[in-house]
Amino acid sequence: MPTPITVSIINHKGGVNKTTANLHIGAGLAKLGKRVLVVDLDTQMNLTHSLIGDLPEDEPCVSDVMIKNQIPLHNIIRPTSVPNMDIAPSSESMVDLEINLHAAINREHRLKIALAHPELKKYDFIIIDNGPHIGNAALNSLMASQFYLVPVSAEYLPLVGLTHLTRTIAQIKPFNPTLQNIGYLLTMVDRREGISSEIEAVLRETFKDEVFANIVRINTKFKACPQKRQTIFDIEGPTGKGYTDYLNVSKEFLERVEKAHAKN
């Protein structure tokens, strides 16, 4: 398998657990012995905030790497409290990324070029967190990725939104033919609620085995993670709901990546 394997976490909708999935699949893979880099491409900086706190605006972040083309990405990487997992953080200057990339040469490939640096070969996985807006930042993410993962909240199923995402991906594919869906991940599932089961049924009927077999159950403990700069693996023990869910999702993620590579 060629490494690093790069994965975009993407969905046009906010609040569907993109950042939480990024953080916990990253930490889950690290727990399973993989070396992981997470990249924060969201102007909201939630992933950065959850792992290392807010970066001072004058510290270079991933947008400076992409805009200026002079700072190698490994110069901005920071360790996190999760063993085996580092972060390429975002800061306030991320807000300028869209404007500054607008007229830049090779603007969709800036992240791909930055991630190709030999210093990053030590990572098994690079997982990129995206905001809900598909602009230059998300295009860079998808152009740099072999896989994308779509978290879908079991509270509300925006099937129209998912159709839009499929259309966006279809537009990108001619320019990145290796891009594949690693799966739809159902999050915030509450099986006592009829709506949760209905959404799960529709999603599985529509997307078949593109949907992860494992799901993430609703669990208020996740809300405490960002402020404590901890993951659910620190907050809960191995029998905890969130701990079990994300460890299972991370194992399935590895199986799905291996299966995709075996097919190609």
| Closest residue by Cα to residue 172 from 184, 161, 164 | 164
**Of 144 and 189, which CB lies nearer to ligand ADP in the complex structure?**
189
Work out whether 12 is an interface residue with ligand ADP (CB under 6 A): no
* Positions 36 through 75 that interact with Mg ion (CB under 5 A): 46
Q: Which is nearer to ligand ADP, 180 or 187 (CB)?
A: 187
What's the closest the beta carbon of residue 217 comes to ligand ADP, in angstroms?
Answer: 6
Q: Which stretches of 33-109 are DSSP H helices?
A: 46-52, 62-68, 97-102
- Least separation in angstroms between residue 74's CB and ligand ADP is 25
Nearer CB in complex with ligand ADP: 74/217: 217
Binding test (CB under 6 A) with ligand ADP, winner from 6, 8, 20, 91 = 20
Beta strand 125-129 with 5-9 is parallel
By CB under 5 A, tell whether 18 contacts Mg ion.
Answer: yes
What are the φ/ψ torsions at residue 20 (nearest 5 degrees)?
Answer: -65, -40
Query: Are 120 and 126 in contact, with CB atoms under 8 Å apart?
Result: yes
The residue (of 120 and 130) whose beta carbon lies closer to ligand ADP is: 130
- Minimal CA–CA distance to 29: which of 251, 263, 255, 259? 251
Strand partners, 39: 88, 128
CB closest to Mg ion, residue no = 19
Mark 220-239 with x for binding to ligand ADP (rule: CB under 6 A) and - for no binding. x-xx----------------
Please give the structure tokens belonging to residue 9.
Answer: 């976490």
Looking at the Cβ atoms of 18 and 49, the one nearer to Mg ion is 18
Compare residues 8 and 19 and give the one whose CB is closer to ligand ADP.
19
Q: Tell me the window of 51-59, 68-76, 170-178, 212-220 that interacts with ligand ADP (CB under 6 A).
A: 212-220
Structure tokens of 88?
């390429």
Here the tokens at position 185 are 């991940």
Residues 48/90, Cβ–Cβ less than 8 Å = yes
Residue 108 in contact with residue 139, Cβ under 8 Å? Answer: yes
Binding partner at 196 among ligand ADP, Mg ion, none, C-beta below 5 to 8 Å by kind: none
Interface of this chain with ligand ADP, residues 128 to 187, rule: CB under 6 A:
187
Q: What is the largest CA-CA distance in the chain?
A: 53
19 touching Mg ion, by CB under 5 A: yes
Q: Which of 1, 14, 202, 255 binds ligand ADP (CB under 6 A)?
A: 14
Among 6, 17, 48, 145, binds ligand ADP (CB under 6 A): 17
Residues 6+ apart with CB under 8 A from 251: 28, 32, 214
